[in-house]
A and B are shown apart, each in its own frame.
Chain A
C-alpha cells in the first residue's frame, strides 16, 4: 500500500514523473529509445485496462490482445477503406472493442474462474483466426499496410501533426496520462469500490445492494474498450498491422506486465509495462529463447514478490522507515 498511505509522496512521484516524461525527447537522441517509450505508453494503457478486469474485478482474461487487435483493425480499416480521419476512427475502434467485450462478458462472466480463463483463451484464438482467414477484409497474414499517420491540424498559423516519433510520443503520453487519470478517478469512486467488492466476495456484495452482474460487465466493457483505444493508437503509429501481433502471446505478455508491476495496484501497470518493454528489447539477442525468459520472470515474481514491483517497493520502504510501520501496526495488534 505504498501509494495509499502517502498521498503526498504520490503527488511528488506523479509530478516528477510528468516532468520527466515531457522532457524525455529533448534528452534522448536515439529514435530507437523513443520507439520503446511510445510502446511503453501503449503497453501501460493495455496493462491498466487488463488490471481493471483481472486485478480489480478479479476475472483473469487471457484474451485481452483480441480487443487490442479489434481496435487496431477497426481503426486501420476505417482509415484505409473509408478514408475517415484519425479523430473518428479511434473512438470507433474503442466502441467496437467495448461492444465485443460486452458480447463476451454477458455469457462468460457467469462462469467460475478457470472456465472463464478458458473462454477468454478461446475468444482470443477465435479473433486471431478471423484476422488470419478473413482475407478480403484483413488481407490475412499479409496484414494491413500504409495505415495513415494521425491527422494534421491547422489552427491558423499553428500546424500540428504526428508523423515523427517525438510528436507521436507526446500524443501517446497525453492519451496515456488521460487514461490513467480517468482510471484513477474510476477506481477511487463508488463504482471502483463496488468493483473491488465484487472481486472480494460476490455474495456479500450482492446482499448489501451491489448489482454484481452490472459491475462485472461494466468493468469488462471499460477494460476492453480501453484496449481497443490502445490498438487504434498502435495501428496509426507503426502503420502496419498483422495478426501475429495480436496472438495469445501478446495476451500473456500483458498478464506478465500486470503481475510483475503489481496486480490490483494503480501504478503497478506503469512499472510493469515500461519495465518489461525495455527488458525484452535488451533480450532480443536471445531470439526465440525470449519466451523462456517470460516463464522465468513470472516464476521469480510469483515466488519472490507476489505483490509485484509495487509490493517490493512497499517492503523496501518499510525497511528504510521502520518507525512508520510500527505506527501502522499498532491498531492491528489491539
Chain B
C-alpha cells in the first residue's frame, strides 16, 4: 500500500515564533496515524497546514502524489481531505441533517442556474443528497436527531456529528483534532469504536490526541512532537519506551527531581 500523505520539511513561523520547524512524515493508506505531543508542540498547526488553513513558511504537503502546499482549504476539501476541530465547529443554528447536507456540498453537481430554475436534474441531485446524508446519519446513530438543532445535541453527539459532516465530503484522509477532548470514559470508548469503523470503511485517519491511553490502543503509527520538532516515530510500544519521549512529557528537571 502506498502513501496517502507525505509531509516534507514542513515549517511554520508566526512573526518570529517558530511553531513547527522541519517536520517530515509519511502516512500510509488505511492506517490510523497519530500525532501526539505536549501543549504547544505544533500538532494543530500541522493539521492547519495540511487542510490549507495556514500556508506553510517552508516545506511541502503531498497528497496522493499531488503537491497541495498552500492550496485554499475548500480546494483541499474537494480533493479529499476533511477534518474536525479541537473546539467543535458545527453550524449550531442549523439542524443535524442540514449540517451533513452542507458536508455533501462539494460532491453535488449543478450551479446557481439549475438551483434557482429548479431543473429536473437539480431535484434528482437534491433527492440523492438527502439519501446519502441520511445514510451517514444512520451510520452514526444520529438519524432520530435529524431535525434537532446541532446546538441542542449532547456534547458527545456533537463530536460525532462533526465527524459525520467531515465524512459526508467523502474524504480519503480524515484529520481529527482531539476528538476525545472533554469526553468521559464511556463516550471515549464509543469514539474509539467509531474511529475503527471509519478506518474499516477504507479511510485513512490522522488523529491528534491528548489521551495517551486511547492513542496507544488505537493507533497503528505514532509521531511525537515537541516544540515543533519530531522527536520520535514508530509503533506504540517503540514510542512509549523512547527516552526522548519520556523526557518531553516529564521534563528533564522533572526526571532529576524524581531521582533526588
Contacts and interface: CB of A to CB of B under 8 A. Distances in A.
Given A204-B90, A331-B145, A193 B105 contact: yes
Contacts of B145: 331-332, 334
A185 B118 contact: yes
B183 interface: no
B102 A197 contact: yes
B116 interface: yes
A334 B91 contact: no
A190 B148 contact: no
Nearest to B148: A332
Interface in A200-237: 200-201, 203-212, 218
A209 B94 contact: no
A328 to B, nearest CB: 8
Contacts of B76: 207
A310 interface: no
Q: Size band of the B side of the interface? A: 35 or more
B142 to A, nearest CB: 10
Contacts of B144: 331, 334
B77 A209 contact: yes
Nearest to B80: A209
A333 B129 CA distance: 27
B110 interface: yes
A200 B51 CA distance: 19
B50 to A, nearest CB: 10
B36 to A, nearest CB: 22
Interface string B115-143: 11110001001100100000000000000
B197 interface: no
B122 A193 contact: no
Interface in A239-263: none
A41 interface: no
Contacts of B168: 208
Contacts of A334: 144-145
A44 B126 CA distance: 28
Contact of A192 (B93, B111, B115, B165): B115
Q: Most chain-A CB neighbours within 10 Å: which of B89, B92, B126?
A: B89
Nearest to B153: A332
B77 A207 contact: yes
A182 B144 CA distance: 32
B245 interface: no
Contacts, number: 110
B53 A190 contact: no
Nearest to B79: A209
A205 B73 CA distance: 9
Nearest to A212: B74
A332 B152 contact: yes
Contact of A206 (B73, B112, B165, B166): B73
Given A201-B89, A203-B89, A208-B106, A186 B74 contact: no
A207 B83 contact: yes
Contacts of A196: 91, 94, 98, 102
B78 A209 contact: yes
B235 interface: no
B82 A200 contact: no
Contact of B101 (A185, A193, A201, A205): A193
Contact of B129 (A190, A201, A218, A328): A190
B115 A210 contact: no
A189 B126 contact: yes
Interface in B86-108: 89-94, 98, 101-103, 105-108
B92 to A, nearest CB: 7
12 contacts: A186-B112, A190-B105, A190-B115, A190-B122, A192-B115, A193-B102, A201-B89, A204-B85, A205-B74, A207-B77, A208-B105, A218-B112
Interface of B: 51-53, 72-74, 76-78, 82-83, 85, 89-94, 98, 101-103, 105-108, 110-112, 115-118, 122, 125-126, 129, 144-145, 147-149, 152, 165-166, 168-169
Given A190-B125, A206-B72, A208-B169, 13 more contacts: A191-B112, A193-B101, A196-B102, A197-B91, A197-B102, A200-B92, A203-B89, A204-B91, A208-B103, A208-B166, A208-B168, A210-B106, A332-B152
> Which 9 A/B pairs are nearest by Cβ-Cβ distance?
A209-B106, A209-B77, A189-B115, A204-B89, A200-B91, A206-B73, A197-B102, A209-B78, A191-B115
